[in-house]
């Protein structure tokens, strides 16, 4: 299994909160919308940060899921625990 | 081995000067398919065509009786047979992506129960007319293919997704469905869906979403639609031309079908020729495959034009002389960073300005964004601003670098591939029209800037003024 971190661009409204919780893993583009720079984190610590960013995003735009089945993507329970 | 039904080959193919599939049975057909087939170029009802064989454009929608006379009954192949045929033929998607249908079907079958089949005939590419031509003139070939795809998938129903602004295909298909019902054809349950005709509404996740909840906007997907669509069920969205080819594959056999094309791109392919041609919007079936030059000669363009836009309005420009020699086929076009896409070939004549044309296309494409992803909504109008400034000669080197940076930040930013496609279009423009770029940068827009528009764009769907830039390009 491999963990995937993505930002759903249809939900992101550029609050930039993800960048606070996942420094180095998310950057903001020219308009302030989040971009994931580490979409496949391996280190547990990084995954934990991604999950924090997912919990913190006011729009639920940060999704963390298992790439085999997509479980954890928007709507479903994110994989792992904080 | 697959038991293929007895084949009645369409008369237009049997004994046609081009040879190819001239054989009585499907199993024997395999022997005659030449590996790299002869070049065939033909419009509706013209010799050498396969999908388009039969009556010409004047005779309207083909009846079930007429269809059966040329193609025979719907093959009795089981789902497993169709599956093997799909695999053996390597039939690739003809909507733009070129993804093998066999892989979508396999993914959906592995993913679980109650798969959904959607045949996308909405043809949201404004200058393309091939799916429309098929649905209007050969509705039973499309429905045969859809019925066979539904069998392979194990789906009890098949949806055909149409553009609600275009009555032609809708009424032809509705009539064809009635005829089949009356004749007791072993069909799935048909669902005719009429969606909005906007550009990104034809994207596969938007089509699947429209059928699920009526909102035809692309969706963010964690796993492929074929694994889990918006409804939670595996959803295979495939193009109308793709399933029409499947209907042929199941009759003449995968080897004979593949032999109509090249080894790297099996079968024939439909194309629409537009721009500076005598008859813009003409749909042709290409086998062999021919070079872009051969296609253009057949449409009345005797010599290489300035440039050719291939694959769609968000496609790729190729220099005219280079395109002239290039086979209109996936692997050859891939060497030029292009793709056949939906089969569009747009001709830019000498004396017209590629930068001006592209700036109009990009402005229109920017307005066709589904308006949901921030970077796409904000960035595409800026890209259009940049192209317009460049085309108008109001531009410096710094502006060009900014267009390039803007492109880089748009790549991969959306829920769908729309921004990426527009960026690729812009990159190919800067590349193919590099000499013009230099001239425009020097503040001297070329003579072509006053040329009347070559590639027609529909009226914009949305006003395209995005958030204004903090600084201008000029
Ligand atoms: S916190 Fe959420 S809405 Fe804000 S930029 Fe990050 S992903 Fe987008
Ligand atoms: S990337 Fe653009 S066109 Fe695609 S869904 Fe997002 S806003 Fe719409």
Query: Rounded to 5 degrees, what angle do the CA atoms A21, A27, A31 make?
Result: 120
Please check the confidence at residue B5 and state whether its pLDDT lies above 60: no
Instruction: Pick the residue whose CA is nearest to atom 1 on ligand 2.
Output: B414
Do A63 and B222 count as a contact with CB atoms less than 8 A apart? Answer: yes
In a domain, B30, yes or no: no
> Do B329 and B364 sit in the same domain of this protein?
no
Expressed in angstroms and rounded, the spacing between residue B242 Cα and the centre of ligand 2 is 25
Q: Whole domain around residue B83: which residue ranges?
A: 55-253
Q: Is the Cβ of B415 closer than 8 Å to some Cβ of chain A?
A: yes
Query: Rounded to 5 degrees, what angle do the CA atoms B145, B148, B153 make?
Result: 125
Task: Residue B219: list chain A partners with CB under 8 A.
Answer: 10
Q: How far apart are CA B209 and CA B217, in angstroms?
A: 7
pLDDT at B461: 57
Expressed in angstroms and rounded, the spacing between residue A22 Cα and the centre of ligand 2 is 25
> Do B238 and B152 sit in the same domain of this protein?
yes
Q: How far apart are CA B318 and CA B440, in angstroms?
A: 20
> Do B319 and B383 sit in the same domain of this protein?
no
Share of chain B above pLDDT 90, in %: 71
In a domain, B453, yes or no: yes
> Do B362 and B393 sit in the same domain of this protein?
yes
Q: A with B: how many residue pairs have Cβ under 8 Å apart?
A: 57
> Do B70 and B102 sit in the same domain of this protein?
yes
Q: Following CA atoms A16, A22, A23, A27 in sequence, which dihedral angle do they give, to the nearest 10 degrees?
A: -50
Q: Is the Cβ of B378 closer than 8 Å to some Cβ of chain A?
A: yes
Alpha-carbon distances, residue B260 vs B21, B22, B287, B316 (angstroms): 8, 11, 5, 26
Q: What is the CATH number of the domain that holds B102?
A: 3.40.50.11540
Confidence category of residue A80, pLDDT binned at 50, 70, 90: low
Chain B residue with the nearest C-alpha to that of A5? B222
Do B227 and A70 count as a contact with CB atoms less than 8 A apart? Answer: yes
Alpha-carbon distances, residue B68 vs B46, B64, B184, B393, B437 (angstroms): 19, 6, 13, 59, 55
Partner residue facing A9 (CB), from B227, B374, B467: B374
> Do B164 and B310 sit in the same domain of this protein?
no
Partner residue facing A8 (CB), from B409, B415, B467: B415
Q: Is the Cβ of A63 closer than 8 Å to some Cβ of chain B?
A: yes
Alpha-carbon distances, residue A36 vs A4, A8, A53, B414 (angstroms): 10, 10, 11, 12
Chain A residue with the nearest C-alpha to that of B376? A9
Confidence category of residue A73, pLDDT binned at 50, 70, 90: low
> DSSP states of B229-254 as a string?
-TTSS-EEEEEHHHHHHHHHHHHH-H
Task: Residue B467: list chain A partners with CB under 8 A.
Answer: 31
In a domain, B8, yes or no: no
> Do B111 and B245 sit in the same domain of this protein?
yes
Confidence category of residue B450, pLDDT binned at 50, 70, 90: confident
pLDDT tens column, B263-301: 888 999 999 999 999 999 999 999 989 999 999 999 999
| Inter-residue contact B352 to B448 (CB < 8 Å) | yes
Structure tokens at B438: 């230099």
End-to-end Cα separation, chain B, in angstroms: 66
Task: Residue A12: list chain B partners with CB under 8 A.
Answer: 373-374
Q: Single out the residue of B322, B346, B272, B309 nearest to residue B421, CA to CA.
A: B309
Mutate to test the pocket of ligand 1, among A6, A9, A13, A50 (most ligand atoms within 8 A of CB): A13
| Inter-residue contact B308 to B347 (CB < 8 Å) | yes
pLDDT at B113: 81
Chain A residue with the nearest C-alpha to that of B372? A10
Q: Is the Cβ of B200 closer than 8 Å to some Cβ of chain A?
A: no
In a domain, B368, yes or no: yes
Expressed in angstroms and rounded, the spacing between residue A8 Cα and the centre of ligand 1 is 9
Q: Kindly list the domain boundaries of chain A, sorted by start residue.
A: 3-78
CATH number for the region A3-78 comes to 3.30.70.20
Expressed in angstroms and rounded, the spacing between residue B315 Cα and the centre of ligand 2 is 17
| Cα B212 to the center of its chain, rounded Å | 23
pLDDT at B383: 95
Q: Is the Cβ of A27 closer than 8 Å to some Cβ of chain B?
A: no
Alpha-carbon distances, residue B256 vs B13, B37, B224, B268, B347 (angstroms): 12, 10, 31, 11, 32
Q: Is the Cβ of A6 closer than 8 Å to some Cβ of chain B?
A: yes
> Rounded to a whole number, what is the distance in Å from the CA of B371 to chain A's nearest CA?
9
Confidence category of residue A62, pLDDT binned at 50, 70, 90: very high
pLDDT tens column, B129-145: 999 999 999 999 999 99
In a domain, B122, yes or no: yes
Do A8 and B467 count as a contact with CB atoms less than 8 A apart? Answer: no
Chain B residue with the nearest C-alpha to that of A14? B374
Instruction: Pick the residue whose CA is nearest to atom 8 on ligand 1.
Output: A12
For chain B positions 431-470, those within 8 Å of chain A (CB to CB) are 467
pTM of the model: 0.88
pLDDT tens column, B45-70: 999 899 999 999 988 899 999 999 99
Do A63 and B379 count as a contact with CB atoms less than 8 A apart? Answer: no
Weakest-pLDDT range from A58-72, B11-25, B174-188, B202-216: B11-25
Q: Which of B253, B288, B309 is the last residue of a domain?
A: B253
> Do B277 and B214 sit in the same domain of this protein?
no
pLDDT at A17: 92
Cβ count within 10 A of residue B255: 19
Please check the confidence at residue A72 and state whether its pLDDT lies above 80: no
Q: What is the CATH number of the domain that holds B411?
A: 1.20.1440.230
Radius of gyration of chain B (CA): 22
Q: Which of B299, B320, B348 is the last residue of a domain?
A: B348
Is the minimum distance from the CB of B373 to ligand 2 under 6 angstroms? yes
Number of domains in chain B: 3
Overall average pLDDT of the A24-33 stretch: 91
Confidence category of residue A68, pLDDT binned at 50, 70, 90: confident
Helices (H), B129-238: 130-137, 139-153, 167-183, 204-213
Do B413 and A10 count as a contact with CB atoms less than 8 A apart? Answer: no
In a domain, B181, yes or no: yes
> Do B339 and B363 sit in the same domain of this protein?
no
> Do B276 and B246 sit in the same domain of this protein?
no
pLDDT at B330: 92
Do A13 and B374 count as a contact with CB atoms less than 8 A apart? Answer: yes
pLDDT at B298: 96
Weakest-pLDDT range from B204-218, B399-413, B452-466: B452-466
Expressed in angstroms and rounded, the spacing between residue B416 Cα and the centre of ligand 2 is 5
Overall average pLDDT of the B302-331 stretch: 96
pLDDT at B34: 40
Q: Which of B193, B228, B253 is the last residue of a domain?
A: B253
Is the minimum distance from the CB of A6 to ligand 1 under 6 angstroms? no
In a domain, B164, yes or no: yes
| Inter-residue contact B30 to B146 (CB < 8 Å) | no
Query: Rounded to 5 degrees, what angle do the CA atoms B247, B200, B271 make?
Result: 45
Please check the confidence at residue B449 and state whether its pLDDT lies above 90: no
Task: Residue B222: list chain A partners with CB under 8 A.
Answer: 4, 6, 63, 65, 70, 72-74
Q: How far apart are CA B48 and CA B62, in angstroms?
A: 19
pLDDT at A75: 52
Q: What is the CATH number of the domain that holds B290?
A: 3.10.20.600
pLDDT at B30: 34
pLDDT at B140: 97
pLDDT at B10: 41
DSSP state of B326: S
Confidence category of residue B37, pLDDT binned at 50, 70, 90: low
| Inter-residue contact B410 to B379 (CB < 8 Å) | yes
Q: How far apart are CA B299 and CA B347, in angstroms?
A: 11
In a domain, B214, yes or no: yes
């Amino acid at each position: 299994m491999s963990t995937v971190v993505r930002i759903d661009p249809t939900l992101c409204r550029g609050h930039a909160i993800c960048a606070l919780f996942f420094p180095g893993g998310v950057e903001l583009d020219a308009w302030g919308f989040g971009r994931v720079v580490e979409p496949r984190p391996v280190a547990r610590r990084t995954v934990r940060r991604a999950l924090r960013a997912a919990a913190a995003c006011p729009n639920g735009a940060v999704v963390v899921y298992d790439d085999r089945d997509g479980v954890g993507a928007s709507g479903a329970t994110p994989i792992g625990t904080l | 081995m697959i038991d293929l039904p007895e084949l009645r080959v369409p008369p237009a193919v049997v004994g046609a000067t081009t040879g190819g599939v001239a054989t009585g049975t499907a199993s024997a057909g395999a022997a005659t398919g030449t590996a790299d087939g002869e070049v065939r170029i033909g419009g509706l009802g013209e010799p050498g065509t396969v999908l388009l064989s039969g009556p010409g454009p004047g005779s309207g929608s083909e009846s079930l009786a007429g269809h059966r006379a040329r193609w025979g009954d719907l093959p009795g192949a089981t789902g497993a047979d169709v599956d093997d045929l799909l695999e053996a033929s390597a039939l690739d998607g003809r909507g733009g992506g070129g993804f093998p249908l066999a892989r979508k079907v396999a993914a959906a079958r592995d993913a679980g129960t109650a798969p959904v089949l959607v045949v996308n005939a909405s043809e949201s590419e404004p200058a393309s007319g091939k799916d429309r031509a098929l649905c209007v003139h050969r509705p039973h070939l499309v429905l045969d293919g859809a019925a066979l795809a539904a069998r392979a998938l194990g789906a009890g129903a098949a949806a055909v997704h149409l553009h609600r602004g275009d009555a032609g295909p809708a009424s032809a298909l509705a009539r064809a469905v009635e005829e089949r019902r009356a004749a007791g054809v072993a069909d799935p349950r048909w669902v005719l869906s009429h969606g909005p005709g906007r550009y990104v509404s034809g994207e596969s996740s938007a089509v699947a979403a429209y059928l699920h909840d009526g909102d035809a906007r692309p969706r963010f997907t964690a796993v492929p639609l074929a694994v889990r669509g918006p409804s939670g069920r595996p959803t295979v969205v495939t193009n109308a031309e793709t399933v029409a080819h499947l209907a042929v594959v199941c009759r003449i056999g995968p080897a004979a079908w593949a032999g109509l094309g090249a080894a790297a791109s099996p079968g024939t392919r439909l194309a629409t020729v537009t721009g500076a041609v005598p008859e813009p919007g003409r749909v042709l079936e290409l086998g062999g495959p021919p070079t872009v030059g051969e296609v253009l000669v057949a449409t009345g363009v005797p010599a290489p034009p300035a440039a050719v836009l291939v694959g769609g309005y968000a496609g790729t420009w190729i220099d005219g002389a280079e395109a002239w020699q290039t086979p209109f086929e996936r692997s050859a076009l891939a060497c030029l960073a292009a793709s056949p896409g939906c089969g569009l070939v747009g001709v830019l004549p000498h004396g017209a300005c590629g930068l001006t044309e592209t700036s109009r296309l990009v402005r229109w494409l920017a307005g066709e964004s589904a308006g949901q992803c921030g970077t796409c909504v904000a960035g595409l109008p800026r890209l259009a601003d940049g192209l317009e400034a460049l085309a108008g000669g109001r531009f410096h080197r710094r502006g060009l670098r900014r267009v390039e940076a803007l492109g880089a930040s748009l790549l991969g930013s959306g829920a769908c591939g729309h921004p990426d496609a527009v960026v690729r279009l812009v990159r190919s423009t800067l590349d193919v029209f590099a000499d013009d770029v230099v001239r425009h940068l020097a503040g001297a827009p070329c003579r072509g800037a006053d040329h009347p528009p070559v590639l027609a764009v529909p009226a914009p769907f949305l006003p395209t003024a995005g958030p204004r830039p903090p600084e201008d390009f000029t």
